[in-house]
Amino acid sequence: MRSASSLNVLLLVLGLLGNNSNAPSVRAEVPAREVEPATRHLIICVDGVGFSTLEKLRAEGKFGDFRQPSRMIAPFPTLTNVSMSEILEPAGASDAAGYEDSFYDAEGNRLRGGLLDRFNNGKFIKGTFRELFDYHPSAIKSGLGYALPPVSTYVEALTDLVRLKQKFNSSREPVFFAYIGSTDSLAHLGGERMVRSFLSLLDESLKEIIRGGRVEVTVFSDHGNHYRKYK
């Protein structure tokens, strides 16, 4: 598990990315209280949530406890493995082995990986940036979100939220690092409406966490998504 000092460095590079592959990104953060400084820091990655989606939610009054999101520039290509490996490099993340589930291993001179690896913790999580998170859904749980989309995907997102709160409340770590990948799955399979619906529930949960104690919250993403129809 990463040290608190490495995560302090990490906070310099986290951000919610923009609404397309090359767009600027943003970070949303709850201000620490001046009278009672936060004693814990909850950092949540919501995969695939772009700047424009967050701005629409803020226009509806969501995430009002957060500072104005700040933009950053997305790495290229903006696939999760590449993006997160770059973002979390200061915390000890290694380079991504490949861009997609199946990729060419130059050293071994062969193709590696495959869709089935997504259901194997030893290949999907172990040895990757995903090991840095205090909460990360299991490989099987993540894969089941594609069983009957978009309903199964939305259910997966809801269970992510429940498990995240359970793990955070039972933890005593001063810095707790959580990953929600189902937001990106929802973007692909359910569209922006379902993503915004889930993020509204996330906002309500974060309000409860903030009211429950001295907690500073940072929300960031690895990349955004377009919602334009193909021509």
Task: Name the strand (E) or helix (H) holding 72.
Answer: strand 70-73
Q: What are the residue ranges spanned by the domains of the chain?
A: 4-220
Quick check: 17 and 223 in contact, CB under 8 A?
yes
Model confidence pLDDT, tens digit, residues 161-177: 999 999 999 999 999 99
Please name every residue paired with 110 in a beta bridge, in sequence order, or none if there are none: 105
DSSP code string of 7-61: HHHHTTT--B--SSTTSEEEEEEPPPPSSS--SEEEEEEETT--HHHHHHHHHTT
**pLDDT, tens digit, 9 for 90 and up, residues 17-31:** 333 443 444 566 655
68 φ/ψ angles, rounded to the nearest 5 degrees: -60, 130
Q: How far is CA 202 from the centre of its chain?
A: 12
pTM over 0.85: no
Q: What is the pLDDT of residues 117-156, one digit of tens each?
A: 777 787 888 889 999 999 999 999 988 888 999 999 999 9
The 10s digit of each residue's pLDDT in 39-93 is: 899 999 999 999 999 999 999 999 999 998 887 777 667 788 888 988 899 999 9
